[in-house]
C-alpha cells in the first residue's frame, strides 16, 4: 500500500505539473485537510483488507475510528513516540484556529484530532508513509 500511495502523489504532481512546495510553509489546517483524507484511506484500507462486507457496515466501523474522539485517543497512544519535529507539527495543528467544530466532540478532542490530522498530512506530503503506517498501527491498538 505504501508504494501505491506515493505513486499516486507523484502521478498527480506529474500529470498536473504541480511545483515542489516547502510543506513547512503550509497552514496547519491545510495539513489537517489532506491528513484527514490520508488517515481515512488507511482505516478504510484496513477494513476492506479484512474481507468483503456490506458498505454500510464498513462505513459505520470506519466512523468509529475516524472521528475526533477516536483520533484524540490515538494521539494519546502515540504521543510518547513522536519526534520533536512531529510534536511541533501536531502542536501547530492543535493550536490552529478553526472556524468549525465537530458536532459530537469536546473542544479538546477536536483540537487534538486536528493536530493528529495535521501530523498525518505533513508525513504524507513529506513522503513518510512508513511512519504514517507505524503511528496508525500504534494509535489504533486497543488499550
Write the pLDDT tens digit of every residue in 27-65: 999 999 999 999 999 999 999 999 999 999 999 999 999
Residue 6 confidence (pLDDT): 62
Q: What is the DSSP letter of 52?
A: -
Q: How far from each other are the two terminal CA atoms of the chain, in whole angstroms?
A: 26
pLDDT at 79 > cutoff 90: yes
Residue 21 has which C-alpha cell?
Answer: 512546495
Sign of CA dihedral 13, 2, 47, 34: negative
Catalytic residues, by residue number, are 36
Residue 15 has which C-alpha cell?
Answer: 500529470
User: What 3-state DSSP class applies to 117?
Assistant: helix
Query: If we measure between CA atoms, which residue out of 98, 37, 103 comes closest to residue 69?
Result: 103
- Per-residue pLDDT band for 105 (boundaries 50, 70, 90) equals confident
> Model-level pTM greater than 0.85?
yes
Sign of CA dihedral 55, 58, 64, 67: negative
pLDDT at 116 > cutoff 60: yes
Q: What is the mean pLDDT of residues 21-26?
A: 93
Amino acid at each position: 500500500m505504501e508504494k501505491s500511495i506515493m505513486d499516486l502523489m507523484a502521478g498527480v504532481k506529474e500529470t498536473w505539473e504541480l511545483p515542489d512546495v516547502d510543506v513547512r510553509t503550509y497552514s496547519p489546517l491545510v495539513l489537517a485537510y489532506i491528513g484527514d483524507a490520508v488517515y481515512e484511506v488507511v482505516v478504510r484500507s484496513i477494513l476492506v483488507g479484512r474481507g468483503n462486507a456490506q458498505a454500510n457496515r464498513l462505513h459505520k466501523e470506519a466512523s468509529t475510528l475516524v472521528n475526533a474522539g477516536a483520533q484524540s485517543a490515538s494521539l494519546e497512544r502515540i504521543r510518547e513516540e513522536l519526534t520533536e519535529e512531529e510534536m511541533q507539527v501536531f502542536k501547530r495543528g492543535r493550536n490552529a484556529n478553526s472556524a468549525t467544530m465537530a458536532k459530537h466532540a469536546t473542544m479538546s478532542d477536536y483540537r487534538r484530532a486536528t493536530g493528529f490530522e495535521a501530523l498525518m498530512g505533513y508525513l504524507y506530503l513529506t513522503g513518510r508513509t512508513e511512519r504514517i503506517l507505524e503511528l496508525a498501527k500504534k494509535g489504533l491498538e486497543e488499550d
